[in-house]
Amino acid sequence: MPADQSSDFSYLAVVVFTFVGIAFIAFNLLLARLLSPSAPTPEKLTTYECGVQPIGDAWRQFNPRYYLFALLFVVFDVEAVFLYPWAVAFRQVGAFAVAEMLIFVGLLIAGLIFAWRREALQWE
Amino acid sequence: MPGSPTIWDDLTLILPLIVLWITSFVLLLGDVVVWKKNRDLNPILAIVGTLIALGIAVYQTISLTGDKAFARSLNMDALAQVSMIALLVTGLLAILLAWTYLKNRGLERGEYYPLMLLSVSGAALMGAANDLIVLFIGLEILSFALYVMAGFSRSDIRSEEASIKYFLLGAFASAFLLYGIALVYGATQTTQLSELASRVHSAQTPMLVAGIGLLIVGLGFKAAVIPFHQWTPDVYEGAPTSVTAYMAGAAKIAAFVAMLRVFDSLAPVSSVWLGAIQALAVLTMVFGNLLAIAQTNVKRMLAYSSIAHAGYLMVAIATLAHRLDGPRGAQAGELAMTGSLFYLFAYTFMTLGAFGVLIYLSNRGKDYQQIEDLRGLVRHDPRTAYAMLFFMLSLGGIPPTMGFMGKWQIFYAALSGGEIMLAIVMALTSVMAAFYYLKIVYVMCFEEPREAAPAPAQFSFGASLSVLLSAAATILFGIMPGLLYTLTGLVR
C-alpha cells in the first residue's frame, strides 16, 4: 500500500479521543443519575419545559413557510462563512477577488429577489 | 504548454456553460421582475441561449484544442465537446416539448427553463470531468434540478411522489458514489481521472476494489441499470411528460459519458470490474426488456425501454475493458467509445420523439399516457401516428433507422472486442424488444379507435417542431450515419 505508514499512528489519536469522549460523557451522565433526586411531574416530562404546551405528536403536517425561511437563512449563513476567508485573503488576491465575490453575492441576491418577487417572504 | 494558462483561458473553454448560466439567471429574474405575464418569452429566450451555447460548442469542437481547464479538473477533449453538443441538442428539443406541454397542461411557471438549463450545464460538467469531485458536482447540479422538475406538477400527487422518490433514492446513490470516490482516493491518492489511469495498476488493494464497486453502484443508479433501476418506472410515469422526455435523454447521456470516462481510466485494472459490468449488462438487457412487455402505460414502457437501452450501452462499457489488450482490443475500445456516443445521440432523438408524440396529443383535459389512448390513432391523425411508428421502429433497432445504426456499432464493437456472450444476449433481447415496440404500432394502426377523434391540442407549435426534428434526425442519420460519424468519430 503506498500510504505512508506514519498516518496509521495519527488516526490512533482520533480513536483514543473518541473513546475518551464517550467515556467522559457516559461517566457524567451516570454520576448525575446516581446523585440527583428523581421527582418527575408531567410538566417536567414535556419536551420543552418552558414552552407552549405540545399538541399531539410530531407526525403532522408543518407549515412549509418555516422551511422557506430556514432555507433562505442557510443561504446567507453560508455566504457569511465564505466572506470571512475572503476578507483575510483579499489583500493578496486583489481585484480578481473583488470580482469573484461580487459574482457570488450577486447570485445569492438574485435568489433573494426571486424569493421576494415570488412572495416567499410573505407571511399570511 | 508555453506560459501558464490564465483564468480567462479556462473561462473561454467553458463558454457554452457560462452562456447557459447567464441565460438561466436572466430567465429567473426576468420572469418575476420584468415580463411577468408574457409566458412565451421564457421558452423563446431559453431556446436563444441554448442555440448560442450550441454554436459556441460546435465552434470549439471544430477548433478542438483538447486543453485541460481549471487546474486539470476539466478535460475539454472531443468526448467533452461531443457530449456537450448532444446535451444541448437534447435541451433544445426538450425546451420545445415543454413549451407545448406546460402551456396546454396549465403548468407554466418561470422556474422550469432556468432549472433545465442549469441541469444541462451540470450534465455537461459530468461529461467534461477530469476529476471525480467535478464529476460528483456535475451529477448533483443535474440531479437537484431534476428532482424539482419531476415534482413540477404540484397539484398531481403522482408527480409529487415521483419527485420525493427520486430525491430520496438519488441522495442515497450519491452517497454511494461519494464513498466510492473516497475509497478510490484512499487507494491511489488522486481524484484526477488522467492520474488515476497511471496509478491504479500499482494500487490494486481491497480498498480500490471496494471503491470501484461503489462507483458502479452510484453511476449505475443514474444510468438506470438493473438492479439499481427501481426508481425509473415510477419517476418516468409520475413526472410531467416533458420532464420525463428531458430526463430520459440528458441523464442517460451524462451518466454514460461519465461512465465511459471513469472506466476508460480504470482500464488498466479491468480484471477487477469487467465481471461486474458484464453481469449488470446481461441483467439489464434481459429484465429491462422482459418487464417492458407487461406495461400498459407508454411512459412506464418507455422507462423499462430506457433501462434496456442502458443495458446495450453497458455492453460498450464492457468492451472498453479490452482497450489495453493489444491492437485488436484498442480498436474495439475506440469503436465502443464512438459507438456509444452515436447510440446516445440516437437514443435521445428517438426517446424525445416518442415522448413528444404523447405531448403533442395531450391537452388540458387529457394527458396521453396509456397504450389504450393511442388505439386507432392512424385514423384520426395519420402524420402523428407515422412519426410514432418511426420512433418505435428506431427504438426497436430496425433498419433503416438511427436506432439500428447505433445498435449495430455497439454490436460490432463487442464482437471485435471478444465480448461474444454479450453480443449474443444483445441480439436476442433486441428481438424481445421488438415485441413491445411493435405492440404500440399494432394498437395504433390495426385496431379500431374506441372514441371519437381527440380534441386537437390548443398550442402545438413547439411539440410539432420537436417531433419533426427528432423524426428527421432519426431517419437522416439512419440512412446516412456518416454525417453524424464525422462528429462521434472525433472521440478516439
Indicate whether B128 pLDDT > 50: yes
d(CA B140, CA B129): 13
Q: Quick: pLDDT tens for B148-207.
A: 999 998 888 999 999 999 999 999 999 999 999 999 999 999 999 989 988 888 888 899
d(CA B114, CA B20): 9
Q: Quick: pLDDT tens for B418-467.
A: 899 999 999 999 999 999 999 999 999 888 887 666 666 577 888 899 99
- Run of H or E residues at B109: none
Instruction: Give CA angle at B91 (B90, B96), nearest 5°.
Output: 100
Task: Decide: residue A111, CB within 10 A, 0-12 exposed, 13-18 middle, 19+ buried.
Answer: middle
Greater confidence (B313 vs B363) lies with B313
Whole-number pLDDT of residue B290: 94
Cis peptide before B400 (omega within 30 of 0): yes
Cβ pair B189:A107 closer than 8 A: no
d(CA B142, CA B150): 12
Whole-number pLDDT of residue B202: 86
Q: Which of A2, A110, A117 sits opposite B203 (nearest CB)?
A: A2
How many Å lie between the alpha carbon of A23 and the closest alpha carbon of chain B? 29
Give domain status of residue B18, yes or no: yes
Supply B131's cell numbers.
476529476
Contacts of A114 in chain B (CB under 8 A): 28-29, 32
Banded pLDDT at A12 (limits 50, 70, 90): confident
DSSP secondary structure letter of residue B370: B
Residue in B with minimal Cα distance to A116 = B32
Q: Where are the domains of chain A?
A: 7-117
Q: Quick: pLDDT tens for B265-310.
A: 999 998 899 999 999 999 999 999 999 999 999 999 999 999 999 9
Q: Which of B32, B186, B203 sits opposite A114 (nearest CB)?
A: B32
B29 touches chain A (CB under 8 A): yes
**B8, B11, B22, B28: best to mutate for the A interface, most A CBs within 10 A:** B28
A113 touches chain B (CB under 8 A): yes
Contacts of B32 in chain A (CB under 8 A): 113-114, 117-118
B452 touches chain A (CB under 8 A): no
Choose among B220, B217, B250, B196: nearest CA to B313. Answer: B220
How many Å lie between the alpha carbon of A79 and the closest alpha carbon of chain B? 19
Give domain status of residue B2, yes or no: no
**How many residues are there in chain A?**
124
d(CA B343, CA B309): 9
Cβ pair A114:B29 closer than 8 A: yes
B198 touches chain A (CB under 8 A): no
Amino acid at B108: E
Contacts of A1 in chain B (CB under 8 A): 187, 203, 205
CB A79 within 8 A of CB A72: no
Other Cβ atoms less than 10 A from the Cβ of A61: the count is: 5
A64 sits in the region (left: phi over 0; alpha: psi -120 to 50; else beta) called alpha
Indicate whether A2 pLDDT > 50: no
Whole-number pLDDT of residue B240: 93
- Which of B113-122, B415-424, B480-489 is the least confident region? B480-489
The top-scoring range by mean pLDDT among A76-80, A86-90, B54-58 is B54-58
Q: What is the mean pLDDT of residues B370-389?
A: 88
B33 touches chain A (CB under 8 A): yes
Whole-number pLDDT of residue A49: 64
Residue in B with minimal Cα distance to A110 = B29
Whole-number pLDDT of residue A124: 67
How many Å lie between the alpha carbon of A112 and the closest alpha carbon of chain B? 10
Q: With pLDDT > 90 as the criterion, what percentage of chain A qualifies?
A: 16
Pairing of strands B68-69, B74-75: antiparallel
d(CA A101, CA B55): 30
Contacts of B205 in chain A (CB under 8 A): 1
CA-to-CA dists, residue B12 to A67, B24, B65, angstroms: 39, 19, 12
First to last CA, chain B: 22
d(CA B170, CA A35): 49
Fold observed for domain A7-117: Methane Monooxygenase Hydroxylase; Chain G, domain 1 (1.20.58)
Residue contacts between A and B (CB atoms, under 8 Å): 22
Cβ pair A114:B28 closer than 8 A: yes
CA-to-CA dists, residue B385 to B121, B250, B365, B416, angstroms: 34, 25, 21, 38
CA-to-CA dists, residue B14 to B5, B17, B53, B179, B207, angstroms: 14, 5, 10, 28, 34
Q: Quick: pLDDT tens for B215-268.
A: 999 999 999 998 999 999 999 999 999 999 999 999 999 999 999 999 999 999
Q: Which of A2, A113, A117 sits opposite B189 (nearest CB)?
A: A2
Whole-number pLDDT of residue B244: 95
Contacts of A96 in chain B (CB under 8 A): 7
- Which of A106-115, B213-222, B275-284, B344-353 is the least confident region? A106-115
Strands (E), B1-87: 68-69, 74-75
Give domain status of residue B4, yes or no: no
Number of domains in chain B: 1
Choose among B158, B478, B162: nearest CA to B349. Answer: B478
B189 touches chain A (CB under 8 A): yes
CA-to-CA dists, residue B61 to B50, B65, B73, B80, B250, angstroms: 16, 8, 19, 9, 20
d(CA B312, CA B321): 15
B363 sits in the region (left: phi over 0; alpha: psi -120 to 50; else beta) called beta
How far is Cα of residue B64 from the mean position of the Cα atoms in its chain?
24
B75 strand-pairing partners: B68
Whole-number pLDDT of residue B54: 96
**A113, A117, A119, A122: best to mutate for the B interface, most B CBs within 10 A:** A117
Cβ pair B29:A1 closer than 8 A: no
Contacts of B189 in chain A (CB under 8 A): 2-3
CB B186 within 8 A of CB B207: yes
Cβ pair B25:A1 closer than 8 A: no
d(CA A82, CA A75): 11
B11 touches chain A (CB under 8 A): no
Choose among B126, B120, B128, B127: nearest CA to B89. Answer: B120
Range 71-110 of B in CB contact (< 8 A) with A = none
Indicate whether B3 pLDDT > 70: no
Residue numbers of the domain that contains B313: 9-488
B69 strand-pairing partners: B74
Banded pLDDT at A1 (limits 50, 70, 90): very low
What is the sign, positive or negative, of the torsion defined by CA atoms of B104, B108, B114, B115?
negative
Contacts of B28 in chain A (CB under 8 A): 110, 114
* Whether the predicted interface score ipTM is above 0.85: no
Three-class secondary structure of residue B151 per DSSP: coil
CA-to-CA dists, residue A58 to A55, A62, A120, angstroms: 9, 9, 24
b/e per residue, B161-189, with b = 16+ CB within 10 A? Answer: bbbebbbebbeebbebbbbbbebbbbbbe
Q: Is the pTM of this model over 0.90?
A: no
B202 touches chain A (CB under 8 A): yes
